[in-house]
Chain A
Amino acid sequence: MADRPVNVVIATDCGSTTTKAILIEKVGDVYRQTFRGEAPTTVEAPFEDVTKGVLNSIQEIEELSGRKILDGEKIITPANGNVGVDIYVSTSSAGGGLQMMVAGAVAAMTGESAQRCALGGGAIVMDVLASNDGRAGFEKIERIRQLRPDMMLLSGGTDGGTISHVVEMAEYISAADPKPRLGIGYKLPIIFAGNKDAAKRVQEILGEKMSLEVTDNIRPTLERENLMPARHRIHDLFLHHVMQQAPGYKKLIAMCGAPIIPTPAAVGDIIERVAKKEQINVLGVDIGGATTDVFSVFQKVFNRTVSANLGMSYSISNVLAEAGLDNIMRWVPFDIDEQDLRNRIKNKMIRPTTIPFTVDELMIEQAIAREALRLALTQHKMLAVGLKGVQQERSISDAFSQTASGQSLINMMDLHLVIGSGGILSHAPRRVQSMVMMTDSYQLEGITRLAVDSIFMMPHLGVLATVNEKAATDAFEHDCMVYLGTCISPVGVAKDGEKCVDLKISGDLTVNESIPYGELKLYKLDVGKTAKLEATPARGFDVGAGKGKPLTTTIHGGVGGVLVDTRGRPLVLPTDKKQRVAVLTKWAKALDLYPELKR
């Protein structure tokens, strides 16, 4: 699609708590993000009109920029000198975002495809139902009744495949007669994207009770997934049904120059574009207060997952519940009473807007963030897999190394770039803290570049890209991405002090050193600078070329620099408290990670 000519853009993201506005202006030939404003989201009482928060955030930009954008409650278009903008676009996750329930015939096949489709469309998946999900019919019906989704997606059967399993799921849905989360008196939207031969029966069963839309099968054959038509339908229904029920959204839709899309869908879109443009494997994470979204593009396949209850404020207590206290404490370089720590975490949960005031509190929050990031990636790896049920041709040579279908696509050694987003990563007081948080939780392997989203503008740029790709790409490269640097992590295990890797770095950074096992070291290499790396790992270690094999590549600088991590993979921390504190303190000092470590 050709870019729409624009010079001045205002974009908002209506989040659960805050509405963030950014102004993008064409400066010479390049689009730059110039001003930002924010205001509390006003979906809830007493305002119950999302546009109030939008107007407040735009008003803040008006005050900062001197540009007149609003005429009362109207956005002035097109731009003329210092008045007005050419287009207004928005994303939304307010009111809990888009909540969906999906169903398929077989859990590991169409059930999983349906889940990937809904997640890619920006939804939180409340549950995945399938004929073989282990629940009895009445249990499935009870579950559908309990949940109040915004929308459902029913898939099942390849084209020409099973009809009865699909019809069975439709019968359960019909019997449950689920009610939508918003709006008491309207029909729940449901998309049927399964075996085309079952469409007529599904229509007979659900057509009256629900607002049914039929679209192309998401799994027309076992070997092929076709998620885009259903994903587009999700966006259409989100816009025309779900959002119509949310307070003020009718007005907001009228204000926008392009369709509103769910926030995570917009973030996914921009990450997919980066991977495509650079021809690289990318991992993106957005760690919020309630949820953590993980996006990946590996082998050109895009995947998104949302860990609905892993977050740094509303869901912080759930991180503790899922990770366990020991896993959190292993990252904390001091000792703390268990009851005190548990009370602190609960207090953050009930007062989610508070921020750490002392360095100890910051360390605890960053320790919890490591676990949230780790758990969210584990969940992502389970869904970002190749298609299951695909027939594989094997030769004799495969006989001893047979792999099942449905292997995870996420191979950390093949990862080129990690992009972090969310307050704890984007606003860490020292950038190197974000670098180490992501390195620890993801256990990066080989050579990986790291970046953070400066002010959480990926959603804005994702929706803008649907209108003008150049404007979105320019602002992304110049203003959104803050490159932290590169991490070099040899994979292998040895004893502390043993030989691990020899580094020869030349160019904007010069290093000629042998780094022993068990170290963290940071070298300065500024943003925009590059260097040639020749890494020779010790026997048994791999930096990307194979065990013991040298690797030559170009590395990029950033606000953090070049981080060399020879702590080994898998990274194992001492279980003894004293030893743990000693080793964490040593690493923190080596990187100058925190302002003070006096105890």
Chain B
Amino acid sequence: MAHAYTPGLRVTESAVIRKRRILPIQGTVMVRVGQKVTASDVVARAEIPGKVHTVNIVNKLSIEASETKRFMKKKETEVVKKDEVIAENSPMIKWFKTSVTSPIDGTIESISDVTGQVLLREPPRPLNLLAYIEGTIVEVIEREGVVIECPAAFTQGIFGIGGETSGIIEPVAKSPDADLTPAEITSAHAGKILIGGRHASMAVIRRAIEVKAAAIVIGGIHDKDLREILGKDLGVAITGTENVGLTLIITEGFGSIPMARKTFDLLVGKKGRKASCSGATQIRAGVIRPEIVIPADHAGGPGGPEGERTGMKPGDPVRIIREPMFGRLGAIKSLPPDLTAIPTESHVRVLVVSFPDGSEATIPRANVETIES
């Protein structure tokens, strides 16, 4: 039998995290294998080619495209300054003279005698690739990037916005089912990763942005608040490049849903510790989930490597991820092998979940998520 896919989010006290840090284009790797790095160290650098600007000489000088090169004052690859003359005609009467100037500081990329276009390029822009997590370089990929390894506590969210950041873990909510309130967020939270419970309203998020918090980690938010933060309705869950003033990570889903006790306890237990986090999410093709990486302090053990994901088994903790019991947590009681009819009349594979209050429910396997450690 082929392996059954069990989607799940990792929540673990101790793991060895390996991060591939790759440049978007080839460049230079700045570190060597074995070197220790902090989250803000530059591990690789590349030069992103500058923006290209176009100038149509033919139109400006009223000439034929094939004559373009004859009227140019600058050649290809030559450096030019903004407002410097790059092409000029030489009429009999000086009064009719027309000059074309460069719109930018840069270089002449190409001159076309077919289209009469001159392309100018701005100087390259340096791109510094940061380590993002504290750890040791275990692999260098020539001209492309590195792999960093770090023993750490690690937890994933289900969805996030905003890019990579780092800060001190600061629990704010008193319990996983408590809502965050704006009054709880103060200027002392600047640069910190705030740990909430069940729900964060728009007012809470605004307040956190105002005090310059690095991130909020919360059980759920409402879709309408996400729309307000982004200024648009998010159609596809590909995020990480938003610039909204902080990184937002939701651990359970949309709505008002208590944070899983395990996630909450893990994060609260790391109060005061330095962590890296990212809201980047990509659900389709190459799943990326938002994450919080808390490097192990030196007193702690290195932890084990990421275990291979196996199928579900009785006793595994699960979270129900679809109505009508969305957000409830329980444990697998049994996994009936036969297809079972559900209220929609579909015949699907199901499992029986037992809840802490002793009740049970039969749920499609597709509608639960294991909480992985």
Are B283 and A349 in contact, with the CB atoms below 8 A? yes
Q: Does B321 contact A (CB under 8 A)?
A: yes
A72 to B324, CA, bound (A): 45
Question: Which of B33-41, B181-189, B228-236 faces chain A?
Answer: B228-236
Are B159 and A350 in contact, with the CB atoms below 8 A? yes
* CB within 8 Å of B: which A337-358 residues: 339-340, 342-358
Nearest B residue to A184 via CB reads B144
Are B121 and A429 in contact, with the CB atoms below 8 A? no
A339 to B224, CA, bound (A): 7
Q: How many A residues, CB 8 Å from partner?
A: 72
Q: Does A141 contact B (CB under 8 A)?
A: yes
Nearest A residue to B104 via CB reads A138
Are B236 and A174 in contact, with the CB atoms below 8 A? no
Are B115 and A168 in contact, with the CB atoms below 8 A? yes
**B22–chain A nearest beta-carbon distance, Å:** 7
Q: Does A34 contact B (CB under 8 A)?
A: no
A429 to B320, CA, bound (A): 22
Are B255 and A343 in contact, with the CB atoms below 8 A? yes
Partner of A320, one of B109, B232, B233, B366: B233
**B74–chain A nearest beta-carbon distance, Å:** 16
Nearest A residue to B309 via CB reads A46
A352 to B323, CA, bound (A): 14
Partner of B344, one of A290, A349, A429: A429
A353 to B369, CA, bound (A): 10
Find chain A residues with CB under 8 A from B344 CB. Answer: 356-359, 361-362, 429, 595
Find chain B residues with CB under 8 A from A357 CB. Answer: 322-324, 342-344, 363-364, 367
Question: Which of B2-10, B75-83, B208-216, B258-266 faces chain A?
Answer: B2-10
Q: Does B71 contact A (CB under 8 A)?
A: no
Are B2 and A57 in contact, with the CB atoms below 8 A? yes
* CB within 8 Å of B: which A314-333 residues: 314-315, 317-318, 320-322
**B365–chain A nearest beta-carbon distance, Å:** 9
* CB within 8 Å of B: which A393-430 residues: 427, 429-430
Q: Does B138 contact A (CB under 8 A)?
A: no
Are B348 and A60 in contact, with the CB atoms below 8 A? no
* CB within 8 Å of B: which A356-370 residues: 356-359, 361-362
Find chain A residues with CB under 8 A from B348 CB. Answer: 355
A93 to B198, CA, bound (A): 39
Are A185 and B366 in contact, with the CB atoms below 8 A? no
Mask: chain A, 558-571; 1 = CB below 8 Å from B; 0 = not: 00000000000000
A181 to B123, CA, bound (A): 24
**B247–chain A nearest beta-carbon distance, Å:** 17
Q: Does B335 contact A (CB under 8 A)?
A: no
Find chain B residues with CB under 8 A from A497 CB. Answer: none
Find chain B residues with CB under 8 A from A317 CB. Answer: 233-237
A224 to B166, CA, bound (A): 59
Find chain A residues with CB under 8 A from B7 CB. Answer: 351, 353
A194 to B159, CA, bound (A): 44
Find chain B residues with CB under 8 A from A322 CB. Answer: 235
Say yes or no: A60-B2 contact (C-beta < 8 A), given A185-B26, A318-B236: yes
A175 to B346, CA, bound (A): 54
A352 to B253, CA, bound (A): 12
Partner of B224, one of A141, A167, A342, A359: A342
**A241–chain B nearest beta-carbon distance, Å:** 18
Are A164 and B237 in contact, with the CB atoms below 8 A? no
**A292–chain B nearest beta-carbon distance, Å:** 13
Q: Does A56 contact B (CB under 8 A)?
A: yes
Mask: chain A, 171-185; 1 = CB below 8 Å from B; 0 = not: 110111101000011
Q: Does A25 contact B (CB under 8 A)?
A: no
Q: Does B223 contact A (CB under 8 A)?
A: yes
Find chain A residues with CB under 8 A from B52 CB. Answer: 138, 141-142, 175-176
Find chain B residues with CB under 8 A from A43 CB. Answer: 285
Find chain A residues with CB under 8 A from B72 CB. Answer: none
Partner of A321, one of B158, B233, B322: B233
Are A350 and B2 in contact, with the CB atoms below 8 A? no
The binding surface of chain B is classed by DSSP as loop
**A66–chain B nearest beta-carbon distance, Å:** 15
Q: Does B356 contact A (CB under 8 A)?
A: no
Are A351 and B236 in contact, with the CB atoms below 8 A? no
Residue of B143, B281, B308, B322 with most partner-chain A CB within 10 A? B322
Q: Does A95 contact B (CB under 8 A)?
A: yes
A267 to B94, CA, bound (A): 67
Are B343 and A359 in contact, with the CB atoms below 8 A? yes
Residue of A44, A346, A359, A362 with most partner-chain B CB within 10 A? A346
Are B343 and A171 in contact, with the CB atoms below 8 A? no
Find chain B residues with CB under 8 A from A358 CB. Answer: 323-324, 343-344
Q: How many B residues, CB 8 Å from partner?
A: 64
Are A138 and B110 in contact, with the CB atoms below 8 A? no
Say yes or no: A595-B343 contact (C-beta < 8 A), given A164-B65, A318-B236, A358-B323: yes
Q: Does B101 contact A (CB under 8 A)?
A: no
A163 to B285, CA, bound (A): 40
Are A142 and B51 in contact, with the CB atoms below 8 A? yes
Find chain A residues with CB under 8 A from B54 CB. Answer: 136-138, 141, 172
**B223–chain A nearest beta-carbon distance, Å:** 4
Find chain A residues with CB under 8 A from B236 CB. Answer: 290, 309, 314-315, 317-318, 349
Q: Does B284 contact A (CB under 8 A)?
A: yes
Q: Does A201 contact B (CB under 8 A)?
A: yes
Find chain A residues with CB under 8 A from B322 CB. Answer: 347-348, 351, 354-357, 361
Find chain A residues with CB under 8 A from B346 CB. Answer: 355-356, 427, 429
**A132–chain B nearest beta-carbon distance, Å:** 14
Q: Does A38 contact B (CB under 8 A)?
A: yes
Q: Does A59 contact B (CB under 8 A)?
A: yes
Find chain A residues with CB under 8 A from B119 CB. Answer: 137, 171, 175
Find chain B residues with CB under 8 A from A352 CB. Answer: 283-284
**A198–chain B nearest beta-carbon distance, Å:** 9
Find chain A residues with CB under 8 A from B232 CB. Answer: 321
Nearest B residue to A352 via CB reads B283
Find chain A residues with CB under 8 A from B321 CB. Answer: 347, 351, 354
**A293–chain B nearest beta-carbon distance, Å:** 16
Mask: chain B, 274-287; 1 = CB below 8 Å from A; 0 = not: 00000001011111
**A386–chain B nearest beta-carbon distance, Å:** 31
Partner of A95, one of B53, B158, B285, B323: B285
Say yes or no: A355-B366 contact (C-beta < 8 A), given A175-B119, A185-B26, A430-B345: yes
Find chain B residues with CB under 8 A from A44 CB. Answer: 285-287
Nearest A residue to B284 via CB reads A314
Q: Does B61 contact A (CB under 8 A)?
A: no
Q: Does A257 contact B (CB under 8 A)?
A: no
Are A168 and B226 in contact, with the CB atoms below 8 A? no
Nearest B residue to A317 via CB reads B235
**B250–chain A nearest beta-carbon distance, Å:** 9
Are A361 and B114 in contact, with the CB atoms below 8 A? no
Are A59 and B283 in contact, with the CB atoms below 8 A? no
Q: Does A39 contact B (CB under 8 A)?
A: yes
Say yes or no: A59-B253 contact (C-beta < 8 A), given A164-B114, A171-B115: no
Say yes or no: A60-B283 contact (C-beta < 8 A), given A171-B110, A350-B159, A429-B346: no
Q: Footprint of A on B, CB under 8 Å?
A: 1-3, 5, 7, 22-26, 49, 51-54, 65, 109-110, 112, 114-115, 117, 119, 121, 143-144, 158-159, 222-224, 226, 232-237, 253-255, 281, 283-287, 308, 321-324, 326, 342-346, 348, 363-364, 366-367, 369
**Closest 7 A-B residue pairs measured CB to CB?**
A318-B235, A137-B54, A39-B2, A429-B345, A56-B2, A342-B223, A321-B233
Apart from A184-B22, A347-B255, A355-B346, what are 15 other A-B pairs with CB-CB below 8 Å? A40-B5, A56-B3, A60-B2, A95-B285, A141-B52, A171-B110, A171-B115, A320-B233, A342-B222, A343-B222, A344-B254, A346-B253, A351-B253, A355-B364, A359-B343
Q: Footprint of B on A, CB under 8 Å?
A: 16, 37-40, 43-46, 56-57, 59-60, 63, 94-96, 136-138, 141-142, 163-164, 167-168, 171-172, 174-177, 179, 184-185, 201, 289-290, 309, 314-315, 317-318, 320-322, 339-340, 342-359, 361-362, 427, 429-430, 595
